[in-house]
């Protein structure tokens, strides 16, 4: 499967990742320069996308937020965010360009966020997911998330309920072994632009 890789500014480069080429995903902290590409993906995957100003305000909250982008050949192909509050980390957003689904990009982003959360003192991790989004739920189950309740009409644009999921004890050796096991199943390689601690 070939995929076009957009540049950070959102414009396509025209380069194609060949089916026989090893995937190299670079995870870097989200910066303002990434936002054009992030907003392009946001508009493709969410019925009510976040605005530029919302992303900018989230990035400004450095003490309690952590946002990352996944890049392939310098182009943004996915992103995720984390909000920290006491012992809990909340996955605020996670999205992958539809062209890059089933390449392990979302898995890499979630691996990174889970480790960042634990390194910053979180003991638990939570998120909301559409009740109809079974592929995302399957990914979250792999990470030890379990249903904890329903938020009725959480997604107002479609009147769809959200399934609230929690992963407990993410600061334990057992959870790190779970993450290492998930990581071992990924093909290609992941490069981190900064230490995750």
Q: Which of 68, 79, 140, 175 is catalytic?
A: 140
Is 162 inside a domain boundary? no
**Residue 5 is encoded by which pair of tokens?**
């890789």
Q: Is residue 109 part of a domain?
A: yes
Is residue 47 one of the residues assigned to a domain?
A: yes
What domain range includes position 87? Answer: 4-13+22-123+175-192
* Model pTM above 0.85: yes
Whether 67 is catalytic: no
Q: How far apart are CA 125 and CA 167, in angstroms?
A: 5
Q: Is the pLDDT of residue 181 over 60?
A: yes
47: domain CATH number is 3.40.630.30
What is the pLDDT confidence band of residue 154, given thresholds at 50, 70 and 90?
confident
Q: Which pLDDT score is estimated for 194?
A: 63
pLDDT tier at 59, thresholds 50, 70, 90 = very high
For the chain, report the end-to-end CA distance as a whole number of angstroms.
35
CB 84 within 8 A of CB 64: yes
Q: Which one from 58, 67, 79, 128 is the annotated catalytic residue?
A: 128
141 given a catalytic annotation: no
């Amino acid at each position: 499967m070939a995929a076009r890789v957009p540049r950070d500014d959102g414009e396509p480069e025209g380069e194609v990742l060949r089916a026989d080429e090893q995937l190299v995903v670079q995870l870097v902290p989200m910066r303002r320069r990434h936002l054009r590409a992030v907003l392009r993906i946001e508009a493709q995957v969410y019925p009510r996308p976040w605005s530029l100003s919302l992303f900018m305000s989230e990035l400004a909250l450095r003490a309690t937020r952590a946002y990352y982008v996944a890049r392939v050949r310098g182009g943004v192909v996915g992103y995720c965010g984390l909000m920290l509050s006491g012992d809990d980390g909340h996955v605020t957003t996670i999205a992958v360009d539809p062209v890059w689904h089933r390449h392990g990009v979302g898995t890499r982003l979630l691996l990174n966020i889970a480790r960042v959360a634990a390194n910053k003192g979180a003991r638990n991790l939570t998120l909301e997911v559409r009740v109809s989004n079974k592929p995302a739920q399957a990914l979250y189950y792999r990470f030890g998330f379990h249903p904890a309740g329903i938020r009725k009409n959480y997604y107002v644009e479609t009147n769809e309920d959200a399934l609230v999921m929690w992963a407990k004890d993410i600061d334990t050796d057992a959870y790190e072994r779970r993450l290492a096991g998930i990581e071992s199943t990924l093909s290609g390689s992941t490069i981190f632009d900064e230490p995750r601690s």
